[in-house]
Amino acid sequence: MEVLTKTELRLRLEEILTKIKNGAIFIHPTDTIYGISCNALNHDAVKKVRDLKERPDTPFSVWVPSLAWIKKNCKTTPEINMWLERLPGPYTLIFDLNNSEAIAKNVNPKSSSLGVRVPEHWFGNLVKELNFPLITTSVNKSGHAFMTCLENLDPEIEMAVDFMIYEGEKKAKPSKIVNFTNGTIKER
């Protein structure tokens, strides 16, 4: 696995964007913890992440390029729009999806809902430039502790990812989840 700094990413931006578009599996920083990602439109790449995390059908969240993407592809209401005003931020908002073509079918194979993130982090500029969603899920196997630094990265995951964008140890916790499905709002 190749480890890149923010500066190295900038210097090789076009190359890295192409790798992501073509299905690379990679680790990236967020405003909370490190995430493992891939192009959320690429069925094969999503399957690789599922296999790595040992999560055959548990829903994945996506990091979307914009609030406009959410409004176009998810069911929103005026009450939900008040939550959108909090973005970017440390939230995973779960919406009913109104465009099944917005993600690969295996991102959330057993549901018509989708967890969406727009973190307050410089990496969001790369997601905007890609202009499509990325899977974003914690870097760990299901049931194990999530990665906070290089020293606690699972060796099997390390061997399977193409590259990592690293910015040092993360001391935050995962994002707050707010579920808007079934006409209700539930925070956890």
Kindly report the pTM of this predicted structure: 0.92
Name the residue range of residue 117's domain: 2-187
Helix (H, G, I), strand (E, B), or coil: what is residue 124? Answer: helix
Residue 88 phi, psi dihedral angles, 5° rounding: -70, 155
Spatial CB neighbours of 154, under 8 Å, sequence gap ≥ 6: 139, 140, 141, 144, 147
The CATH number given to whatever domain includes residue 126 is 3.90.870.10
Question: What does each of the 188 residues of the chain score in pLDDT, given as a tens digit?
Answer: 899 999 999 999 999 999 999 999 999 999 888 999 999 999 999 999 999 999 888 999 999 999 999 999 999 888 888 889 999 999 999 999 999 899 999 999 988 899 999 999 999 999 999 999 999 999 999 888 888 889 999 999 999 999 999 999 988 777 889 998 877 777 77
Burial class (CB in 10 A: 0-12, 13-18, 19+), 46: buried
CA atoms of 31 and 173, how far apart (whole Å):
9
CA atoms of 65 and 35, how far apart (whole Å):
16
| Domains held by the chain: number | 1
